[in-house]
A = this chain, B = another copy of it.
Amino acid sequence: MPLDLLPVSAPATCCTPAASPAISEQDAVQLARTLKALADPARLRLLSLIAAQDGAEACVCDLIEPVGLSQPTVSHHLKVLTDAGLVTREKRGVWAWFALVPGALEQVTSHLGAHLTGRPA
Task: Look across to chain B and name the residue whose beta carbon is closest to the beta carbon of A22.
Answer: B48
Interface: A80 (CB within 8 A): no
CA distance A86 to B79 in the complex (A): 29
**Which 5 residue pairs across A and B have the least CB separation, nearest first?**
A56-B118, A35-B39, A22-B48, A23-B48, A109-B109
What is the minimal beta-carbon distance from A97 to any residue of chain B, in angstroms?
A: 9
Instruction: Report how many copies the assembly holds.
Output: 2
Digit string of A56-83 for contact with B (CB within 8 Å is 1, else 0)? 1001011000100000000000000000
Shortest Cβ gap from A36 to chain B (Å): 4
Q: How far is the CA of A95 from the CA of B4 in the complex (A)?
A: 14
Q: How far is the CB of A50 from chain B (nearest CB, A)?
A: 8
